[in-house]
Amino acid sequence: MDHQVQVLWDREPPLEYCRGRAGPGPTAKTLVETFGLPFNPSVIVSTEFEDKERLAAIVKNLGFAVTYTDVPWPRDIIHQYGNKIATKKSHPDASTGGLYVIDDINGRLGFASTRGHTFSIWDSKNQNSSVFALERFFGIEISMISPLGLSHADSDVMIAPPYVIADSLSYHARPSKGMLNRDAYDAVQDKGYELVVLNLGSEGAYKPLNSLVLNNGGRPFVIANSMTPNFLGELDNLGINYETVTADRSPLAYNGSIRCRTNYLSNAYLLECYGYKVYDAS
């Protein structure tokens, strides 16, 4: 049976990508397209990920379907939360993927990078802000943090409820516009989360917080990098279940790791209908 998905557009949908009916969006500058899509959830894995076979095996063992794509960074082209979808083709000013980290399990919290998209401003309540549009569209509060890298925030923080795990360098960062990252991080404790700030040391180069967090029966299950043993020890201390894959090339050569090389969608067709190729991983 089809379920209704909604796609956020920040302009009139191009005919070649429009599958349904578009109506008013969360701001005067946005539209929302609604169409029916069979519910066939799948973890999307890039064929360029160095340990894709083991990653696919772990995911299948957890009971998830797996689909390969030749897109190098699947997280950067589409983000789905529930039945709400934002794509790079439909909402380029916000982009998606690494610019946003959202709690996909409890759905009460998200973080957004202050750089990397057109409306990267501090006041997320501004009616012209892409962050404001996404905040209203997804129905959750999105806090701004200044990224340590060029734009992405998903190497600086990971949400594995009830924990928000932040890189200590990101926690203590002092952005030029006055608001401290630690203000956004400390505020999560008022929303029912426990903040954990880690000194990643030399393991930071392997992007341990760029792990894939999956909803396993209402609890987080983390697919983490075997190159980060100290971080794995912290997951043990927190009682978070995990398995490891080896990401020894993607973080060092391309500044992205497991989360960036994967995605989770209610149907892999969402990639195909926006012009990307997918392959059966069975």
Mind listing the pLDDT tens digit for each residue in 74-124?
A: 988 888 889 999 887 766 655 556 777 888 888 888 888 877 654 334 344
Q: Which amino acid is at 227?
A: M
- Residue 141 has what pLDDT? 85
Helices (DSSP H) in the chain: which residue ranges?
A: 52-61, 130-138, 168-171, 181-186, 229-238, 250-254, 269-273
Region of poorest pLDDT, from 134-143, 212-221, 260-269:
134-143
Distance CA 159, CA 195 (A): 10
| 256, pLDDT greater than 90 | no
| Residue labelled with tokens 């952005």 | 175
**Taking the model in full, what pTM does it have?**
0.92
Comparison of pLDDT for 90 and 27, the residue scoring more: 27
- Which CATH number does 41-79+88-262 carry? 3.75.10.10
Burial 45-67 (b: 16+ CB within 10 A, else e): bbebbbbbebbbebbeebebbbb
pLDDT tens digits, 132-168: 777 888 888 888 888 887 768 899 999 999 999 999 9
**pLDDT higher than threshold 50 for residue 130:** yes
Domains of the chain, residue spans: 41-79+88-262
State the pLDDT at residue 151.
66
How many Cβ atoms sit within 10 Å of the Cβ of residue 182?
18
- At 91 the pLDDT is 63
Residue 61, classed as helix, strand or coil, is helix
